[in-house]
Copies of this chain bind each other. A is one copy, B any other.
Amino acid sequence: MATLQDLGVSAAINISITFLFLIGFAFLKLQPVNDRVYYPKWYIKGLRKGGTKGDRRSLDKLVNLDYKQYLYFLDWMREALRMPESELIEHAGLDSAVYLRIYLLGLKIFLPLMILGFAVLVPVNVTDNYLVSSASQVISTNIDKISMANVKNGSQRLWVHLSMTYVFTAWTCFMLYIEYKTVAGMRFRFLATEHRRPDQFTVLVRQIPPDPDESISLHVEHFFRVNHPDYYLSHQVVYNANKLAKIVKKREAVQNWLDYSQLKYARNPSVRPTRRKGFCGLWGETVDAIDYHTAQIDQLTKEAAAERERVLGDEKAIMPVAFVSFRRRWGAAVCAQTQQSKNPTLWLTEWAPEPRDVYWYNLAIPYVELTIRKLLITGAVFALIFFFIIPVTFVQSLANLDGIEKKAKFLKPIIERHFIKSFLQGFLPGLALKLFLHFLPVILMIMSKIEGHVCLSMLERVTAVKYYYFMVVNVFFASVLTGAAFEQLNAFFHQAASQIPKTLGDAIPMKATFFITFIMVDGWSGIAGDILRLKPLIIYHLKNMFLVKTEKDRENAMSPGSAGFDTVFPQVLLYFLLGTVYAIITPFILPFIIIYFGFAYVSYRHQVINVYDPEYESGAAFWPQIHNRIIASLIFEQITLLGVFSSKKAADSTPFLIGLPVLTIAFHIYCRNRFEPAFVKYPLEEAMAKDTLDKATHPDLNIKRFLQNAYMHPVFKIEEDDEEGNY
């Protein structure tokens, strides 16, 4: 166990790293040449415009020479906090605004609790002397002295902890309630004030049954004309254009190479660039690069046109899926919430995601497959979470040097050198694990895609769930119980249910100092590393150098990315878990968590305002998930405390803890009934109000025209744009 001094050293190191990152950030972002990396959002919104590439007239277009600006290197924080929330919603969307509220919620929950904890719990703990008197506790530090560990077994002081647990739960629930209410209200206001959008009028219909006499398109039309006679407007069938999308994607890649070659030629007109024909341009016959790529593009364009023809003409390329639009929002709301057909697995309706949120690839999956896919992926995720360490160890064992030596004898002289050998042996196994962890979100996202969800927002949310479970098991439990996940699983399985809280209650208090260090490394430095944006910076400059020809290319090169809810939610929820679990046991952890929440709030607010460009807008549909996870953390905390109290032999007070989970679950059920529908359904009252308003303000709106091509596969749009460009 670390002493206070150890922690101090760790804190010093991490704070230094954080400051280093911040200074680096401040320096880099002040250079005009990096402006598009650190302020892409403004370029996308068209509020900033940079010079084109050839425009290298003066040094101060590249480097900022105003030394005064460097002095106030933390100024961006004030900047970031300045924009009011309403403006933020308009600027970056509701998703981003509500995302930032999560950090704020962390502050709202833990700040008062920290003050209370230090005012009440710390004095109670520190004036007892269990750790001094007992010989059983071999090592004890100053941190343990101010934690619950210092209270004597069976002490009456535990009543204070008990009542504080109630206060803590009550306060957390209260804040959660307020927040849920606020977010639900924000969502309604947002949906109400939104502009007319195609998804408000449209329903995604899946599982359209085949009809022997009619094409799918006609079948859809007839079905909805019959069953929604007053509201049905039009529909758009979905083509299986996955192959076409692949061709187009390939053409884009070739286009990049062509651009690169042309740029190279333009800079050095004496030599025509060449490349080899084979794999990745590494092998094969050498040809003129510009000619070669141009020919390739011609070929691919032809292929795309042929494929497009085929898709649009072939009845079999039409999937049993359609986007059905209605005359009024009311009709769409009705259709999305009702069952259409006697067979509940046919004519499935749900709200259409907004067009840019659609994940087209998965629309082709048959419904029966979905259950199987879900089951398989659940099994796979379970295996991944509990047994991931096994293949990693296997790869590590493959990557040992003796094996490599045997297979590649020519490497032997190099490997046998002492320095290199020890370096590799220390480095390779770690690399395998690092690589795995780095690609984990990608793997999880692929799993979610295989599961068959049809919109990006949903994909990010379900990936977040998977990642969260992974973190809880492999970061939290693995640290607490020390052992690979599947060993813990085995232990829990062979343990009586009544024993589990006790195991947790014994183990968790011991790990407080470890988690404090974890917060500093992962939380503090991590955030600073995030806003530094080193990777995007390098990629941008590389692209800018080799590929950018037009202003549009440069915009593409910025690739600001989105906040990445699939990875940030699990992280912030892990901090909520740590905060709730340790709030009573070791309140000393709270300041570190609060600094994390505060710093993250400011940093990500800056990012949201200046960098991120969200791919979609779900209207904060993720909030129930956040809320439910925090509730789950609360219940976990209560179970742990049951174990801690029974370890402390507090027979009087322990039974009073049992009321807590019951109350918490009651609160959870209430919140679910009260607020959750706001995030999944669209009330008819709202739909009618918007319809009425629409009718009054735009009496002669041609809604059919407005919806005409809204739900066209983007690949067709690209093709159309290209064709327009050709003529």
Which residues of A are interface residues toward B (Cβ below 8 A)?
A: 188, 223, 226-228, 230, 333-334, 337-345, 347, 371-372, 375, 379, 492-499, 662, 666, 669-670, 673-678, 681-686, 688
Distance in angstroms between the alpha carbons of A345 and B675 in the assembled complex: 9
9 interchain pairs (CB within 8 A)?
A223-B685, A227-B684, A230-B230, A341-B685, A342-B685, A342-B686, A347-B685, A371-B669, A496-B496
Q: Which residue of chain B has the shortest Cβ distance to A331 in the bound complex?
A: B334
Contact B683 A341 (CB under 8 A): yes
Among the listed B226, B496, B675, which residue makes an inter-chain contact with A493, where contact means beta carbons less than 8 Å apart? Answer: B496
Contact between chains at B344 and A678 (CB < 8 Å): yes
Q: Cβ of A334 and Cβ of B344 under 8 Å apart? A: no
A666-B371, A685-B227 known; A337-B340 Cβ under 8 A: no
- Which residues of chain B are near A662, meaning CB under 8 Å? 375, 379
- Establish whether residues A673 and B345, one from each chain, have CB atoms under 8 Å apart when the complex forms: yes
The 5 closest A-B pairs by CB, nearest first: A344-B677, A339-B681, A337-B338, A494-B496, A339-B683
Given contacts A342-B685, A682-B339, are A375 and B334 in contact (CB under 8 A)?
no
Q: With A666-B371, A669-B371, A673-B371 known to touch, is A683 a contact of B340 (CB < 8 Å)?
A: yes
A602 to chain B, nearest CB (A): 33
Chain B residues within 8 Å of A347, by CB: 685
Residues of B within 8 A of A499 (CB): 494, 496
This protein's copies in its complex: 2
CB distance from A500 to the nearest CB of B (A): 10
For A345, what are the chain B residues with a Cβ–Cβ distance below 8 Å? 673-674
Report chain B residues within 8 Å CB of A379: 662
Residues of B within 8 A of A677 (CB): 339, 344
Which of B226, B343, B493, B688 meets A227, CB within 8 Å? B688
Asked, given contacts A494-B498, A496-B495, whether A340 binds B684 with beta carbons under 8 Å apart, the answer is yes
Known: A343-B674, A496-B499. 6 other contacts (CB 8 A): A228-B684, A334-B338, A371-B666, A371-B673, A372-B666, A375-B666
CB-defined contacts of A674 to chain B, threshold 8 Å: 343-345
Q: Distance (Å) between the CB of A382 and the closest chain B CB?
A: 11
Q: Report the bound CA distance from A163 to B678 in whole Å.
A: 49
Docked complex Cα distance between A676 and B344 (Å): 8
Q: Given contacts A682-B339, A683-B342, is CB(A688)–CB(B226) below 8 Å?
A: yes
Q: How far is the CB of A375 from chain B (nearest CB, A)?
A: 5
- Please, which residues of chain B bring their CB within 8 A of the CB of A339? 337, 677, 681-684
B contact residues around A669 at 8 Å (CB): 371, 375
- When distances are taken between beta carbons in the complex, the residues of chain B under 8 Å from A675 are 344
Known: A344-B678, A496-B494, A497-B493. A670 touches B371 (CB 8 A): yes
Bound Cα distance from A666 to B369, whole angstroms: 12
The CA-CA distance from A337 to B494 in the complex, in Å, is: 46
A227: chain B residues within 8 A (beta carbon): 684-685, 688
What residues on B are CB-neighbors of A334 within 8 Å?
334, 338
Q: Which residues of B contact A228 (CB under 8 A)?
A: 684
Chain B residue numbers with a CB within 8 Å of A230 are: 230
- Between A339, A345, A666, A688, the greatest number of chain B beta carbons within 10 A of the residue's beta carbon is seen for A339
Measured in the bound complex, the distance between the Cα atoms of B493 and A493 in whole Å is 13
Q: Is the CB of A678 within 8 A of B342?
A: yes
CA distance A171 to B677 in the complex (A): 40
State A371–B668 Cα separation when bound (angstroms). 11
A171 to B557, CA, bound (A): 60
A498 to B675, CA, bound (A): 39
Counting chain B CB atoms within 10 Å of each CB, which of A333, A338, A673 scores highest?
A338
Q: Nearest-CB distance from A504 to chain B (Å)?
A: 16
Q: How far is the CA of A435 from the CA of B344 in the complex (A)?
A: 46
A673 to B369, CA, bound (A): 13
How many Å from the CB of A279 to the closest CB on chain B? 43
CB proximity of A482 to chain B, nearest CB, Å: 20
Known: A494-B498, A688-B226. A338 touches B338 (CB 8 A): yes
Chain B residue with Cβ nearest A344: B677
Distance between Cα atoms of A312 and B66 in the complex (Å): 83
CB distance from A503 to the nearest CB of B (A): 12
Given A345-B674, A371-B670: A684 in contact with B338 (beta carbons within 8 A): yes
Q: Determine whether the beta carbon of B494 is less than 8 Å from that of A681.
A: no
Which residue of B has the minimal Cβ distance to A495?
B496
Contact in complex: A673, B498 (CB < 8 Å)? no
Chain B min CB distance to A207 (Å): 11
Q: Which residue of B lies closest to A333 (CB)?
A: B338
The interface centre, meaning the residue of A227, A662, A675 with most chain B CB atoms within 10 A of its CB, is A227
Residues of B within 8 A of A676 (CB): 344
Min C-beta distance of A330 to chain B, whole Å = 8
Residues of B within 8 A of A371 (CB): 666, 669-670, 673
Give A667's nearest chain B residue, CB to CB: B371
User: Bound state CA distance, A607 and B188, in angstroms?
Assistant: 56
Closest to A491 in B: B496
- A274: shortest Cβ distance to chain B, in Å? 57
Please give, as numbers and ranges, the residues of chain B lying within 8 Å of A375 by CB-CB distance.
Answer: 662, 666, 669
B residues in contact with A372, CB < 8 Å: 666
A688 partner residues in chain B, CB cutoff 8 A: 226-227
Contact B340 A685 (CB under 8 A): yes
Q: A142 → chain B, closest Cβ, in Å?
A: 38
Residues of B within 8 A of A681 (CB): 338-339, 344
Nearest residue, chain B, Cβ from A229: B688
Q: How far in angstroms is the closest Cβ of chain B from A621?
A: 15
CA distance A344 to B681 in the complex (A): 9
B498 & A342 in contact (Cβ 8 Å cutoff): no
Tell me how far the C-beta of A111 lies from the nearest C-beta in chain B, rounded to whole angstroms.
Answer: 30
- A338 to chain B: which residues have CB within 8 Å? 333-334, 337-338, 681, 683-684
